[in-house]
Amino acid sequence: MPHPSPPVAPLVADTTQAHQPALSNPVGARVRPTHTGLALFALAVGGFAIGTTEFVTMGLLPEVARGVDIDIPTAGHVVSAYAAGVVVGAPVLATLGSRLPRKTLLLWLMAGFAVANALSAVAGSYGFLMVARFLSGLPHGAYFGVGSLVAASLVPPHRRTWAVSMMIAGLTVANIVGVPVTTKLGQELGWEWPYAAVSVIALVTVAAVWRWVPWCPPDGGVSMRSELSALRRPQVWFALAIGTVGFGGMFATFSYIAPTMTELGGFSSGTIPLILALYGVGMTAGAMLAGPVSRIGLLRGITVTLGLIAVLLVLFGPAVAGAQWLALVAVFLLGLLPSVLVPMLQTRLMDVAQEGQSLAAALNHSTLNLANALGAWLGSVVLAAGLGYEWPSRIGAMLAVLGVGIALASAAAQRAGRPRHT
């Protein structure tokens, strides 16, 4: 349970569960699997596959560029194509699938993900690859959104953020193991092979979800109209805007991590898989910290974390250029701080969406990948203009500061809407 607010005036309003309006059914009917750990593990395997395919492209931008005969800034658009797929697919698939049992929807989403990554592996041109990456992104947001609701339904209410972070941990572990290993695979055998490997992992996920995740019917009375009702709530839009703007800064930096480390930091290309693994260690540590940080209040924790991200991005370029050990510290923190933020944003959306939770939870990942597309595009703009690799993180810092402003506006709006007691 959240700790009591300190006696001094808080930075932002405490918006933990104790301050939310009472919901009749915050995450749907609670289910009791035989093995909660195995059910969460099955969901996390899907996150591992998604995290691997999402981030491996960033570590292989030079190889992808050579493979389909484009330059590195143009190769950044391949990252944006995947992100655009998430932006489109998350709301559409989550809404259309709202009447399906959640396990059935998860199985179909991961099967489609396997097919799309197989298409990426056989892409022989830039245009084909762009289409395949867009299709690969379509199931991403809906899988994480529905999977987060399933994970939260497996545990008592006070452990929801922890359960969501465990499901998302698959994505963070992908950056320790999946991305470095597949990056090395792509460097040695060709950029196509990582996507083939992801397709196989996705099929393993289908089997694991089938075996261990319990059958979870949708909430009674859920319909497309009730899901869309979430979009009438201002706090939902505030939360989505925080994700879009705040994470755009991180992706503006990380989308070009490979050339930044080699050109600005002086690292060899052979060290890139190890640098990506360090980023993954930071992500995993951040996911583990999300639950404890959320105890100070979800919106307060979100605001403080965004402020720290802004500071990090201001210092990122000088750190990378200054010394290699500082560059490694900066990469670790670039993984850690945003990963603290994701589970808190996911839980925040569950709290404020009320009867439209499936759509809102999926939209969290849609907006995070809108941030991915925005950040990758802004990074390509400054690089194409001839500015150095220290500039994407400077643009990112501006976005993170804007995210802090949106979080403060959300807190002010929530305080203004709270009934006064006499």
pLDDT in tens, 361-410: 677 777 777 787 788 788 888 888 888 888 889 998 999 999 899 999 98
| Residue 13 lies inside a defined structural domain of this protein | no
Q: What average pLDDT score do residues 273-280 get?
A: 86
Q: Per the structure, how many domains does the chain have?
A: 1
CA dihedral (352, 98, 86, 146) positive or negative: positive
Give the residue among 295, 364, 339 at the shortest CA–CA distance from 16: 295
Instruction: State the Cα–Cα distance between residues 346 and 80, nearest whole angstrom.
Output: 22
| Residue 275 lies inside a defined structural domain of this protein | yes
Amino acid at 251: F
Instruction: State the Cα–Cα distance between residues 11 and 297, nearest whole angstrom.
Output: 11
Identify the pLDDT of residue 128: 93
Quote the mean pLDDT of the chain.
81
| Residue 256 lies inside a defined structural domain of this protein | yes
Say whether pTM exceeds 0.85.
no
CA dihedral (34, 38, 42, 44) positive or negative: positive
| Residue 21 lies inside a defined structural domain of this protein | no
Instruction: State the Cα–Cα distance between residues 249 and 315, nearest whole angstrom.
Output: 13
DSSP 258-269: HHIIIIIS---G
Instruction: State the Cα–Cα distance between residues 396 and 381, nearest whole angstrom.
Output: 13
Range of the domain at 253: 27-416
Instruction: State the Cα–Cα distance between residues 221 and 25, nearest whole angstrom.
Output: 12
| Residue 20 lies inside a defined structural domain of this protein | no
How do residues 325-364 score in pLDDT, each as one tens digit?
999 999 999 999 988 888 888 778 877 776 666 677 677 7
Identify the pLDDT of residue 224: 59
| Residue 360 lies inside a defined structural domain of this protein | yes
Pair 213, 106: CB distance under 8 Å = yes
CA dihedral (160, 305, 90, 239) positive or negative: positive
CATH code assigned at 288:
1.20.1250.20
Alpha helices in 190-323 (DSSP H): 193-212, 224-228, 234-254, 257-259, 272-294, 298-322
How big is the chain, counted in residues? 422
Share of the chain above pLDDT 70, in %: 85
Identify the pLDDT of residue 4: 38
Identify the pLDDT of residue 405: 92
| Residue 295 lies inside a defined structural domain of this protein | yes
Share of the chain above pLDDT 90, in %: 26
Q: Is 26 helix (H, G, I), strand (E, B) or coil?
A: strand
Predicted confidence band of residue 15 (pLDDT cuts 50, 70, 90)? very low
Identify the pLDDT of residue 10: 36
| Residue 309 lies inside a defined structural domain of this protein | yes
